Amino acid sequence: MELETYLKKTADEVNSLLQDCYGDPKTALSRAANHLLFAGGKRLRPALFKLAADAVTPGASQKIMQAGLALEVTHNFTLIHDDIMDKDVYRRGQKTVHTLWGEPAAILAGDVLYARAFFLICNAEAPEGAKVRAISLLARTCEEICEGQQQDMSFEEREDVTRDEYLDMITKKTGVLYGAAAAIGSLLAGGSEAQVDALYTYGCKIGAAFQIQDDLIDLLASSEKSGKDQASDIREGKQTLIAITAREKGIDLKPWRRSLSKDDIVSLIALLNEKGVIHSVEQEANDMISSAINGLSVLPDTTEKKLLADLAWYFIKRDY
């Protein structure tokens, strides 16, 4: 099966399961908690959960797919709280939860989803020991996501973020939840320790590469293409891998922290290309994806293993 068909099918399945679980909210708080969850999204984490489960035990995902919702629900909890912290007004084309219901209700809506994530794993049709390991991993993951968000916020006050600090931050903020999705899927499906570990590492790596790709898109994709302001990270002086690599190569990006015309952006990209910054950052993301895929050698050869490799490359698809 083609990856994109697989993802579309899984998203439909996830949406239908979410509807079964939470489609009939009884309280005002449940409606706030549901808002973002039912506002779309590509459902990549449950898709990864499903691929990982079926990659270690063919057909296993059928019985445990509800537990795969836990990853989507966790992701949504973090988005609701992040949106409060970042004072964002829109997400997935809709007003954010705190914009619609106020900050107190949005804090609680996130907290409700947090609880539901653990509840979903408890209810999985899987051995009790596997569920405890899965819950333990999800708890550790949530703590790391919080650390990543805190690091990200603290970087705004700094000019000297190192490459390692940046990679640690994006791994925590974005990578570990993909790692947990793959690991928990394979854990509940009865995967071996080596398989679960390999899938965890794979998920962390593709998640981090996705974040690097996001930084490249911010710089390289036109507003028409991305729907966002081009080069906003550079304008705001954000510490991304591009900014860090530029600094390492002796380029001072401070003069570019200003309103940038289309011509300015063309000149800036030319400069970063000339000094090899963009190539170097693209290479880093590429290397992460290759390394993630290499780690999957512990898996038997199945359609799912192939789809996992496709998914990894899909994460850094160049759409600019």
Residues that bind its own copies (CB under 8 A): 27-29, 81, 84-85, 103-105, 107-108, 110-112, 114-116, 118-119, 122-123, 127-129, 131-133, 135-136, 138-140, 142-143, 146-147, 149-150, 153-154
Nearer to its own copies, 31 or 95 (CB): 31
Nearer to its own copies, 112 or 307 (CB): 112
State in angstroms the smallest separation of the CB of 56 from its own copies: 20
State in angstroms the smallest separation of the CB of 260 from its own copies: 28
Nearer to its own copies, 174 or 245 (CB): 174
> What distances in angstroms separate CA 61 from CA 19, 78, 189, 304, one per listed residue?
18, 25, 7, 12
State in angstroms the smallest separation of the CB of 134 from its own copies: 9
Q: 203: closest CA among 152, 141, 155, 149?
A: 141
Backbone angles phi, psi at 38, to 5 degrees: -100, 15
d(CA 237, CA 256): 8
Strand partners, 94: 91
Nearer to its own copies, 104 or 237 (CB): 104
Residue owning tokens 């405890």 = 132
Nearer to its own copies, 85 or 266 (CB): 85
How does strand 94-95 pair with strand 90-91? Answer: antiparallel
Contacts of residues 13-20 at CB distance under 8 Å and 24 or more positions apart, as own/partner, are 13/65, 14/43, 14/46, 14/47, 14/65, 14/68, 14/69, 14/72, 15/43, 17/65, 17/66, 17/69, 18/69, 18/72
State in angstroms the smallest separation of the CB of 121 from its own copies: 8
Nearer to its own copies, 40 or 127 (CB): 127
The secondary element (H helix, E strand) that includes residue 94 is: strand 94-95
d(CA 39, CA 36): 5
State in angstroms the smallest separation of the CB of 84 from its own copies: 6
State in angstroms the smallest separation of the CB of 119 from its own copies: 4
The secondary element (H helix, E strand) that includes residue 273 is: helix 262-274
State in angstroms the smallest separation of the CB of 237 from its own copies: 19
Nearer to its own copies, 105 or 269 (CB): 105
